[in-house]
Structure 1
Amino acid sequence: MSTASPPTSGSPAPHTIRGTILRPFKVPPKSKSDWLAPAILTAKTITAAAECAPFPYVKGVSGTVLILLETVVTVKKNREDLEELCSSSTEIITILHDQIKAHGNTAAVKFKGLCEELESYLEAVILAIRNMQDRFKGFRGRVKEFLKSSSLTEEIAGYQAQIQGLMAIVETNFKVDEMHAIITAPSFAVVKTVENINNCPPPSRIFQGRQAILDKMHQFFDTESGNQHIYVLYGLGGAGKTQIALKFIEQSSFSNVFLVDTSKVETIDTGLNSIAVSKSVGNSAQDALRWLQSNHSKWLVFFDNADDPKINLNDFLPKCNYGNIIITSRNPELRSYEAHTFVSDMEEADATTLLLRGATKEHSEENLKLATAIVKELYYLPLAIVQAGAFISKSEDLEGYLDLYLNNRARLLSEKAAQSHDDYAQTVFTTWQISFNQLSHLAATLLQLCSFLHYTGISEDMFSTASKYDFSLSWPPREELQEPLEFLSHFVEPTGEWNSLKFLDVTNEIKAYSLISFDAKAKLFSIHPLVHAWSRSTLLDEEPLQSCMSSILGMCIKKIPENEMELASVRLISHVGLLEYANPDRVADFRRAFSQIYYYTGKFKDAQALAELILERSKFLLGDDHADTLSAMGNLASTYFDLGESLKAKELEVLVLEKRTKILGEDHPDTLLAMGSLASTYYMLGEFQKAKELELLALEKHTKVLGEDHPRTLLVMGNLASIYSDLGEFQKAKKLDVLVLEKHTKILGEDHPDTLFTLSNLAITYYTLGEFQKAKEIEVLVLEKRTKVLGMDHPNTLRAMANLAVTYYTLGDLNKALGLEVEVLQKRKQLLGDKHPDTILAMENLVKTYQNLGKQEEMEELEQLIEDTKK
């Protein structure tokens, strides 16, 4: 029987450079029956209000609709067949409630006969549904047949039409002097004024979604708390805050609704003045506030666009324990008021519907597919979607929009449609420009610098670490870093200490307009992807700021200690991948630093490309024997090593060791580094005896020069343990592994990558000693920790996965081995390519698992692939 290859330690070459791609998760789709919950809430609210009204027939029909909805809840399957019936019934009682609330007895009398008839009809429907549910298992087909034969939806639609007709009669006949005060519960407001005011425009004709926020608002304002109700909707400009507020107001029944433009102190005064004038109580803001404070009716003031952080909104709020207030703002500081919701991007389904409605396109399968791709690219931002829909409606080209957008993003997001569905005057880009213009020069510069980084994972630490850049040891020199140093100087004390409070002041200024967000738990900033793209568009000349940010990132990387580089690389790779490096002939050259990040995150091809350029440039400028040239040569050799090109690595490492010994002496730390790297390469080439001799010498000198607890000494010790294991000296290997693990755990902590390397090597030693269960327990732990620390796609995580698969195989758990091996092979192909030794090893192990599972066809197919790959 064939056996799988034993796990490989994958001991890293001890060089100066050695992380993960973050993958978004999908929010599970909403249940098809989510429509029932808000419908029941509405029916309960209206029924409770009707309890206190002197119109029993309104109470009766409302309660019957509630019973209908609660009956549908008990339907186990296919209740969506009854959705239209339930929605129409709920709409009817909502209309009744609103009309009677507004017009009292005038409306109630006219609706009496219709309410009683509808109540009787719905009772028959409820009885039919209950009987059918009891008698038939095939409920879906029966419901469809029942709905069709009884024409229930048509009947309900008829009642709906009759009620809407009566509404028109009520509106026409209703006169102010016929109004009677209705003594009811708070839900039916007592009319105390001559005129009800609502100076709000309606929401957009294509308003879509946001039901969760609306439900939360209704629940909040419907709760009697004995206090003034204040609700804040805050978030990025263009996220739809105003439209949500207008939709809520349209769905509600307040005695008076007043809209106040809160963008400036002057517009606030104007808005409050208009309240005083409309109520004939004066002509000043104070007159309006006094009227609101003395009026116990169910009024609402909508303070829209309270974006200016310098305005203290509390100065303009009525000082009383009643009344209702909605505030929309870009400033998250206003969360300090009673209730609030962060308004962000739309749900995908609502976003696609909004786009198609705005584009006047039907909801076909093909159109939905095209719309989904577009709204993803627009990051589900409502204003961007509305603009896109308007453009598509004009061009009539839904299919071609995405390509057009990708090539003309700035123009399309700045273009105002001639025809619109609401009163909003700004485009996506202009609404942010208004906020940007309010920023100080320093805050604006920071936002623009961050536009050259990835839009997530931005930290203060990146800037503070860069400010500690060491000019005595590092390259490039101070004169090449004037721009980044000048920017960083704003946050550095004369003593050289970083001032976090100054940095906080600047980031708070940007946050006040929701142009940047902060995760307090992770200590990380993020920028909405469209804001990120827009902030670049504010630059007339990108190169100076790009070069500045490139240098700041490079300065940060060069200050990271060697034993922290692997974890730091996981955090920084997304920024390096976007920014890379500026033109080294014109600005400071930090390609070495970026090459390190690529290397430590397993992006060896990217690291190789940079390392080759660095070596070539260093030879040209400094000569073959310069210390920087030899360092560049060693780093390129390490990259070849991890790309599986061990012979290329060996050729360079022999040369580096020879030159460093000659120039620096055999005890210099750089010479010892070269010695350890060459020993690792001998190991990978199977020259174990050569590797052992060199590693023993390296260990002796590392211990003498650096000390036995130095990270490099421990790395050499761990590599020597791997060599002992391959030479069959298992007890020696085990002894060294246990010692290194103890020291790494004590010095670095149990989750540090170097500790996990040692733990992995100990598992391999247990495996070679035949202690498979112990090996498995350790490998499960290593895989769990590496996944958490480095991510699923990191080479070291894949190595842990591959080793655990081999142990499962040896223990006879072939299905578990198969699952891991398939994943390892897929990810190694993506990361390392088909011809990398680690990829080929993964294929060979999978062949053996297929063979032992009797999967002959899969085995033969993979064997052929291995043969073709090795040609």
Structure 2
Amino acid sequence: MSTTSGSPTTGGTTLRPFKAPSKSKSDWLAPAILTAKTITAAAECAPFPYIKGVSGTVLILLETVVTVKKNREDLEELCNSATEIITILHDQILAHGDTAAIKFKGLCGELESYLKAVILAIRNLQDQSKGFRGRVKEFLKASNLTDKIAGYQTQIQGLMAVVETNFKVDKMYNIITAPSFAVVNTVQNINNCPPPSRIFQGRQAILDKMHQFFDTESGNQHIYVLYGLGGAGKTQIALKFIEESRFLHFLNQNELLRCLLVDASKVETIDTGLKGIAVSKSAGDSAQDALMWLQSNHNNWLLFFDNADDPKINLNDFLPKCNHGNVIITSRNPDLRNYGAHTLVSDMDEADATTLLLRRANKECSEENLKLATEIVKELYYLPLAIIQAGAFISKSEDLEGYLALYHSNRARLLSEKAAQSHDDYAQTVFTTWQISFNQLSHLAATLLQLCSFLHYTGISEDMFSTASKYDFSLSWPPREELQEPLEFLSHFVEPTGEWNSLKFLNVTNEIKAYSLISFDAKAKLFSIHPLVHAWSRSTLLDEEPLQSCMSSILGMCIEKIPENEMELASVRLISHVGLLEYANPDRVADFRRAFSQIYYYTGKFKDAQALAELILERSKFLLGDDHADTLSAMGNLASTYFDLGESLKAKELEVLVLEKRTKILGEDHPDTLLAMGSLASTYYMLGEFQKAKELELLALEKHTKVLGEDHPRTLLVMGNLASIYSDLGEFQKAQKLDVLVLEKHTKILGEDHPDTLFTLSNLAITYYTLGEFQKAKEIEVLVLEKRTKVLGMDHPNTLRAMANLAVTHYNLGDLNKALGLEVEVLQKRRQLLGDKHPDTILAMEDLVKTYQKLGKPEEMEELEQLIEDTKKSL
């Protein structure tokens, strides 16, 4: 190798210039390849595997250049420089062991990135359409590619300088005196971008999006924001992107340092980081000097603001005011999206999450391990930091199979435990990283987040709180003094006039959203919380009961204010919240059992509704007496629950009593009396007493029309019930006329997707079916099933009823396989929801038996017939 006068001794400081070797342009490549092959072979035996990777890359580069067959000086110098520096690195590591290897590992990684980029650029030529010689000529003339080659050479020269000067190995103490190849003093060191985690996995869609963005020539400053929950992996994605592309997107011929890292967690750390840039560039010693340098420097620099989480910091004050340069920002604050292109960083996909867990756990990707790992990452909701922590624990315990059982009983402890060995510099655990954000919240915002931890983690709405604030205490219980805590909390969002102030609520939720501890779906107007954040927020409480009771009361107050004709749709939205609160601590929610019972009833969870309804009736009788209006309402609600559970005789017994007492106490024209009349008529109908049902329903319709009006929802319900009675009595024309009338009114008043509208539409289909017009019935039933599935869900009793009706129509049209598929699903879901003894379940069995018989499936038919017989015997 060529040297200056005064060749360096071992550990000396003289630099070797990067000149082309003094040999003819025709013979420089063969010796270089021989040298690279020798180094590659030696690397096979070296105890530092990354040398093998880098030296192998050099060899590929040289062999690729052979195919170009154009000995231009730029490629020649690049290849010889690469070979020379690999030789030095290899010798230094072998000579000085692990101590030197710690620092040289980073050098090898950097060099490998440079060389891979060049290899890619050269190979891309072979994919172009022009002749080979023409492509090479065009490649060498292209200014941007030539600049890249020059830039790579500059980088290698810088690395070489570091090897000769900054990485002196002290033989006595065997230590490296200079800490980093990219800096010459402590101030400059603070701006280094570390490499990503050694076990970085996945996130390719985000990385591809970033590459595409920074490749675009916009004429403006490129700013990209990665935002999302703490622990989602924002910083690691940014570092991986920088590692992949800093020498493609952010090339700068004159400056060794490409990426400028600034800790943006505080104003003080931002100021320190920018000062470091100014000092390292000899541009001054202040943050303003750094910004001025960036604004005046038109080379393609990259400024990386990491952890810009504090919503009180205006990051715009620290952005260079110019139309050039590149900025990457990571933040928990979604408001920073306004600065430029952005991506929400959330959970990993399952395949990458599973691979990451096994890599961190040091477990092989066997079929059994993959299955176990999949279950674990599901439980961790695919959150990267949680997966890393789980992997670290498994690596230590070496028990992949037993992890989930430990996690279920020790979740808070496992998600708060920091591993002794890590693959990156992140100092926080899953729970501690969120605690840092939680500590920044105001008391009101923290309380709201904690209250929401007692709800389901999805489907949380402002409307739940605003509706609760309108609770008017017209009911007999609970008294106002028992609701002081929820009333005090809600008062923060209520004006002196009693009006709900959405702006105040928005300000509080925005405060929580600023740390990504809660998310908002603007289209659905619903909030959600990451499941692990949801669990963690409960762990922030020293005493759960007061807040649990408060949230339970708020939810109960909300339900009590929902109008009757909106209850079914509201129940679908609220059932997940009620289920958590009602079962969490029943003694704390007794005051709102009536409200919760309604939600269970309207979502078809009749057994749960029955259990609460019986307790409510017992309590009401004890506190208020047998004839009190609330006691009679509780009795009527329990009767309705018995009715839907198929216990029509129990329902009839209670409904007769309710109608008698309401007629006596309130009079026969009172709305509550009319409601009791309609309920009893429906029970008569279910029991097959059609004439009694018809007489009572005609009277109910007359009085409903007189008292409530012909368009009132209750009047229309009675009218629809009367149409069903006419149909069963064979009076089809009357039935059809009423069905059409009710359908028109429901559609006009409630809309075509309202449950009452769909109920009427279903009745019309039944009428067509009874008349033998199966095709008309089918068209309506397909529509009803589609809408009920969308509005109520697949498991709602009314959805299953629509499915069963459609199956029967398919059967009569001869579409037996379609009928079979629907009937099997209906039976399965009814057995789960209602039990084997419910009349609707038995009816589903009987329908399926007929289909099996028609399809010639005697074994299935006989098995089901035996089940029907055994079930009926047990009734």
TM-score norm. by structure 2 comes to: 0.79
3-state secondary structure, aligned to 2:303 = strand
What is the Cα deviation at residue 475 of structure 1?
3.2
- State the shift of 1:844 in Å: 0.7
Match of 1:454 in 2: 456
Q: Deviations over 1:4-62 (max 9, x none)?
A: xxxx999999xxxxx99999999999999999999999999999999999999999999
CA contact (8 A) 1:64 1:123 kept: yes
* Bigger Cα displacement from structure 2, 598-607 vs 202-211: 202-211
What is the rounded CA distance, in whole Å, between the counterparts of 1:11 and 1:834 in structure 2? 94
Structure 1's 2 and 25: CA in aligned 2 closer, same or farther, altered over 3 A? closer
Tell me how far 1:477 sits from its aligned partner.
2.5
Are the counterparts in 1 of residues 758 and 788 from structure 2 also a CA contact under 8 Å? yes
Preserved CA contact (<8 Å) 1:306 1:327: yes
Q: What is the percent sequence identity of the aligned residues?
A: 93
Q: In 2, are the aligned partners of 1:699 and 1:717 still within 8 Å (CA)?
A: yes
Whether the aligned pair in 2 keeps the contact of 1:20 and 1:793 (CA below 8 Å) is no
| Conserved? CA contact 2:263–2:307, under 8 Å | yes
CA, structure 1 residues 132+211, in 2 after alignment: closer, same or farther (shift >3 Å)? closer
How has the CA–CA distance of structure 1 residues 81 and 676 changed in structure 2, closer, same or farther, with 3 Å as cutoff?
Answer: farther
Q: Report if the CA contact (8 A) 2:234-2:345 is conserved.
A: yes
Distance 2:750 2:556 in 1: 25
Cα drift, residue 157 of structure 1: 27
Aligned to 1:16: none
Contact persistence 1:261–1:271 (CA under 8 A): yes
Aligned to 2:199: 206
CA distance in 2, matches of 1:641, 1:22: 94
1:493-508 superposed matches below 5 A = 493-508=495-510
DSSP-derived class of the 1:567 partner:
helix
How far apart in 2 are the matches of 1:262 and 1:492? 37
Of the candidates 5, 10, 14, which is equivalent to residue 9 of structure 1?
Answer: 5
Native 8 Å contact 2:469 2:487 kept in 1? yes
Q: Structure 1 residues 201-210 or 148-157, which shifts more? A: 148-157
- 214-223 vs 375-384, greater mean Cα deviation: 214-223
Distance 1:178 1:159, change over 3 A: farther
After superposition, what is the alpha-carbon deviation per residue over 1:168-190, rounded to whole angstroms, capped at 9, x for unaligned? 99999999999999999999999
2:169–2:177 Cα contact (<8 Å) kept: no
Moved more, 131-140 or 803-812: 131-140
Deviations 1:310-337, CA, capped at 9 Å, x for gaps: 1010111112222211110000000011
- 1-side partners of 2:871 and 2:87: how far apart? 70
CA distance in 2, matches of 1:125, 1:684: 81
Larger Rg, first or second structure (1 or 2): 2
Note the C-alpha offset of 1:593: 0.4
1:667 and 1:705 in contact (8 A); partners too: yes
Cα deviation, 1:217-255, whole Å, max 9, x if unaligned, reads 12222222222111111000000001111111222235x
3-state SS in 2 of match to 1:232: strand
Conservation of the 8 A alpha-carbon contact between 1:384 and 1:428: yes
Q: Contact 2:640–2:651 at 8 Å: present in 1 too?
A: yes
Counterpart Cα distance in 2 of 1:673 and 1:325 = 67
Stretch of structure 1 that moved more, 73-82 or 326-335? 73-82
For residues 502-557 of structure 1, what are the alpha-carbon distances to aligned partners after superposition, in whole Å with 9 as ceiling and x for unaligned? Answer: 11111111100000000011111100000000111111111111111111111111
Q: 2:154 is matched with which residue? A: 161
Alpha-carbon spacing, 1:93–1:756, altered in 2? closer, same or farther (3 Å)? farther
Query: How far off its partner does 1:417 sit?
Result: 1.1
State the distance in 2 between where 1:843 and 1:42 align. Answer: 81
Deviations 1:104-151 (A, max 9, x none): 999999999999999999999999999999999999999999999999
* Cα contact 1:33–1:80 (8 A) shared by 2: no
Q: Distance in 2 between matches of 1:108 and 1:12?
A: 22
Give, in whole Å, the separation in 2 of the partners of 1:201 and 1:751: 56
Structure 2 residue ranges without an equivalent (≥5): 248-259
User: Aligned partners of 1:535 and 1:189: how far apart in 2?
Assistant: 42
Q: 2:415 & 2:199 partners in 1: Cα distance?
A: 19
Q: 1:108 to 1:660 in 2, by over 3 A?
A: closer
The one of 698, 701, 705 equivalent to 1:699 is 701
Taking structure 1 as reference, are residues 79 and 11 closer, same or farther at Cα in structure 2, changes over 3 Å only?
A: closer
Helix, strand or coil: the match of 1:259?
strand
Cα distance in 2 between the residues matched to 1:409 and 1:723: 57
What secondary structure does 2:126 align onto? helix
User: Is the CA contact 1:240–1:383 (under 8 Å) kept in the aligned structure 2?
Assistant: yes
Does the CA-based 8 Å contact 1:607-1:639 persist in structure 2? yes
Q: Deviations over 1:605-659 (max 9, x none)?
A: 1111111111111122222222211111111111111011111111211222222
Q: Which has the higher contact order (CA 8 A, sep 6+)?
A: 1
For the residues of structure 1 that align with 2:790 and 2:855, how far apart are their CA atoms? 31
CA contact (8 A) 2:168 2:176 kept: no
Whole-angstrom distance in 2 between the partners of 1:846 and 1:53: 72
Q: In the TM superposition, what is the alpha-carbon distance from 1:474 to its structure 2 partner?
A: 6.0
Q: Structure 1: any 5+ residue segments left out of the alignment?
A: 14-18
Give per-residue Cα distances to partners, 1:827-849, cap 9 Å, x unaligned.
11121112211111111111111
Change (3 A) 1:398 1:127: closer
Taking the aligned partners of 2:579 and 2:334, their CA distance within structure 1 comes to: 31
The 2-side partners of 1:720 and 1:49 are apart by: 93
Cα distance between partner residues in 2 of 1:299 and 1:613 = 71
What SS class does the counterpart of residue 343 from structure 2 fall into? strand
| Aligned CA distance change for structure 1 residues 41 and 841 (closer, same or farther; 3 Å) | farther
Q: In structure 1, what is the Cα distance between the partners aligned to 2:620 and 2:13? A: 30
Q: How many angstroms apart in 2 are the aligned matches of 1:592 and 1:818?
A: 39
Partner of 1:836: 838
Shift of 1:286: 1.3
Distance in 1, Cα, partners of 2:872 & 2:81: 68
Change (3 A) 1:805 1:336: same
Whether the 8 Å CA contact 2:187–2:279 is kept in 1: the answer is no
Alignment deviations for residues 84-118 of structure 1 (CA, whole Å, 9 cap, x no partner) = 99999999999999999999999999999999999
Contact 1:304–1:329 under 8 Å retained in 2: yes
Task: Give the C-alpha shift of residue 425 in structure 1.
Answer: 0.7
Report what 1:122 is aligned to. Answer: 115
Go from structure 1 to structure 2 and tell me whether the alpha carbon gap of 1:531 and 1:583 turns closer, same or farther (over 3 Å shift). Answer: closer
Q: After the TM superposition, which of the residue ranges 419-428 and 84-93 deviates more from structure 2?
A: 84-93
314-323 vs 66-75, which deviates more?
A: 66-75
8 Å CA contact 1:476–1:588 kept in 2: the answer is no
Rounded Cα–Cα distance in structure 2 between residues aligned with 1:866 and 1:115: 75
Gap change, CA 1:512 and 1:117, over 3 Å in 2:
closer
SS of residue in 2 equivalent to 1:104: helix
In structure 2, distance between residues paired with 1:173 and 1:695? 97
Q: How much does 1:296 deviate?
A: 2.1
Mapping of 1:391-540 within 5 angstroms? Answer: 391-473=393-475, 475-540=477-542
How far 1:462 sits from its partner (Å)? 0.7
702-711 vs 26-35, which deviates more?
26-35
Deviations 1:338-393 (A, max 9, x none): 21111000011111111111111111111111111111010000011111111111
Maintained 8 Å contact 2:15/2:164: no
For 2:232 and 2:869, the matched residues in 1 are separated by 56
C-alpha distance 665-79 of structure 1, shift in aligned 2 (>3 A): farther
Give secondary structure in 1 for the equivalent of 2:327. Answer: strand
After TM superposition, list the pairs within 5 Å mapping 1:35-114 onto structure 2: none
Q: CA deviation at 1:709?
A: 1.7
Note the C-alpha offset of 1:869: 2.0
Cα deviation 1:568-594 (Å, max 9, x = unaligned): 111111111111177676677111000
Query: Equivalent residue of 1:453, what SS?
Result: coil
Q: Deviations over 1:722-761 (max 9, x none)?
A: 1111111111211221221122122212211111111111
Q: Distance in 2 between matches of 1:190 and 1:361?
A: 38
User: Which segment drifts farther, 555-564 or 777-786?
Assistant: 777-786
Say if 1:613 and 1:652 are closer, same or farther in 2 by CA, change over 3 A.
Answer: same
Greater displacement, 345-354 / 197-206: 197-206
d(CA) in 2 for partners of 1:677, 1:855:
41
Q: Deviations over 1:258-314 (max 9, x none)?
A: 211111111111111111222222221112112222222222111111000110101
Alpha-carbon contact 1:104-1:179 (below 8 Å) kept: no
Question: Which stretch of the first structure deviates more once superposed, 524-533 or 462-471?
Answer: 462-471
Give me the whole-angstrom Cα distance separating, in 2, the residues matched to 1:693 and 1:26.
Answer: 109
RMSD: 16.2
SS of residue matched to 1:384: helix
Whole-Å Cα distance in 1 between the matches of residues 583 and 69 of structure 2?
60
Change (3 A) 1:22 1:600: farther
Alpha-carbon distance between aligned partners in 2 of 1:221 and 1:747, rounded to the nearest angstrom: 54
Query: In structure 2, do the counterparts of structure 1 residues 552 and 183 end up closer, same or farther at CA, with 3 Å as the change threshold?
Result: closer
**How many residue pairs get matched?**
859
